[in-house]
Amino acid sequence: MSVFDSLADKLQGTLSELRGHGTLTEDDVNRAMREIRLSLLEADVNLRVVKQFTATVRERCLGAQVVGQLNPGQQVVKIVSDELTSLMGGAARDLSFSPRPPTVVLLAGLQGSGKTTVAAKLARHLHTEHRSSVALAACDLQRPAAVEQLVTVGGQVDAAVYEQGTGAAPADVARWALERAVSEGKDVLIVDTSGRLHVDRELMEELAEIRRTIKPHDVLLVLDAMTGQDAINVAEQFGETVRFDGVILTKLDGDARGGAALSVKAVTGTPIVFASTGERLEQFERFHPDRMAQRILGMGDVMSLIEKAERQFDEREAEELEHKLRRNEFTLEDFLSQLRQIRRMGPLTSVLGMLPGIGAQLKGAKVDERELDRIQAIILSMTPEERRRPELIKGSRRLRIARGSGTSVQAVNQLVKQFDQMRKLLRQLGSGRMPDLGALMRQGR
């Protein structure tokens, strides 16, 4: 994987030696800005946007107090994350439905961005989410077999497809389709158009004419999530010609970081409305700006993890635990409380997935949550005395615990044995600290 994988990792690495300083110096901030610039460029955020963005972040970082539990690295990550999220836009947005149906939606975009597939996906989405009756208008008369493709995918989502072959002018087909949608009482009409280059004056004018003819309530730009620096040229040109109201980001199921989304939002101010996330027609969802911000940062969900860790880990409890470890008094009781603390943060896989760097490594690794349930049940079936002194657990006690926890004598044995080994290991670590998750979290990386 690329060295730019996680901005959060890099920032925390760059700034790790600063732990303990009260404020960020100008030097620290400049170093951090370099990492941010590179990371955002690597994520395909447009250079112009990167410059504006880092200027804003720099301002905020300078002299920012390093407060609370956060080290300077985390502090900068938090500022970047906040700024990115606000730039990406806050809440998810929906289409603007017309009080007088049909609501007309016009799709536009470059060739290959996925308009025809999106038309069907959007139809399906509107049908399942809003119970809308949807018709699709086939106005891509350029690409060979585009009409056939729309007819096929439209059929797959039970949407009516209005088509007149490829003989007429696209604007005429659009007008005819609108009249038909009105007379057939459709709730929504989605107009699929040809892919076109934003520099092709003639075809852009054709699009503008379709717009003037049918006066859509929503014009949506369909944009490939893998688009690079050129995204802003595309957005600006389409914006000028057809004034789009929202963006649909496609092919988000790949591993592109999707910086183009940020560029387009920053340059045009237009929100991303939907995201297309797979080959199947149901893989289409409302767009979540905050998730996108995290994705561009390539930092898992590190902020929410920091927040969760702060909420869930009781400082005093942790100190007490450390004390016990040093004195070799760690019991099953303590083990249970540790286990519960970690699990309060969510399913273990998702907790691990939130850790930058670790997320990718553990992709595919399975943590059996049921195994953890079983361990918890076994410990809970012990008496407090047994939890403190596991060596008491013999014969009939074993059987009782096994029955109480719905497991087997072997399982109880195994847990006791493993716990014993763990204790020995901890004893060897002796004077050292227990590498518990809570401490790791607070110390940064």
Rounded distance, CA 409 to CA 411, Å? 5
Give whichever of 145 and 392 is closer to other proteins, judged by the CB atom.
145
- How far is residue 122's CA from residue 119's CA, in Å, rounded to a whole number? 5
Question: Both tokens of residue 287?
Answer: 């767009």
Q: For residues 228 and 346, which CB has a smaller minimum distance to other proteins in the complex?
A: 228
Closest approach, Cβ 321 to other proteins, in A, equals: 41
**Distance in Å, CB of 152 to other proteins, minimum:** 4
Min dist CB 444 to other proteins, Å, is 26
- Structure tokens that stand for 425 in this block: 């290991």
Query: At its nearest, how many Å lie between other proteins and the CB of residue 146?
Result: 7
Residue 90 or 112: the one with the smaller Cβ distance to other proteins is: 112
- Could you give the 3-state DSSP secondary structure of residue 193? strand
Q: Report the run of H or E that residue 284 belongs to, with start and end.
A: strand 284-286
Least distance (Å) from other proteins to the CB of residue 351? 24
Smaller CB separation from other proteins, 260 or 293:
260
Judged by the rule CB under 8 A, the positions of this chain that interact with other proteins are: 4, 38, 41-44, 46-47, 110-114, 142-146, 148-149, 151-153, 156, 197-200, 224, 226-231, 233-234, 251, 253-257, 259-260, 279
Q: How far is the CB of 144 from other proteins (least distance, A)?
A: 3
- Least CB distance to other proteins at residue 5 (A): 12
Crossing angle of the two packed helices 26-42 and 259-268, in degrees rounded to 10: 100
Instruction: Give me the least distance between CB of 157 and other proteins, in Å please.
Output: 11
With respect to other proteins, which residue has the nearer C-beta, 145 or 440?
145
Nearer CB in complex with other proteins: 159/321: 159
Residue placing its CB nearer to other proteins in the complex, 198 or 387: 198
What is the distance, to the nearest Å, from the Cα of residue 23 to the centroid of all Cα atoms in its chain?
Answer: 31
Phi, psi for 276 (deg, rounded to 5): -105, 125
Cα torsion angle, 52, 56, 61, 63, sign: positive
Ramachandran assignment for 298, one of left (phi > 0), alpha (psi -120 to 50 degrees), beta (any other): left
The rounded radius of gyration (Å) of the Cα atoms in the chain is: 28
**How long, in residues, is the chain?**
445
Is the Cβ–Cβ distance between 378 and 407 less than 8 Å? yes
Per-residue tokens: 4: 């730019």
Q: How far apart are CA 178 and CA 182, in angstroms?
A: 6
Buried-state track 428-441, b at ≥16 Cβ within 10 A, e below 16: eeeeeebebbbeeb
200 or 205: CB nearest other proteins: 200
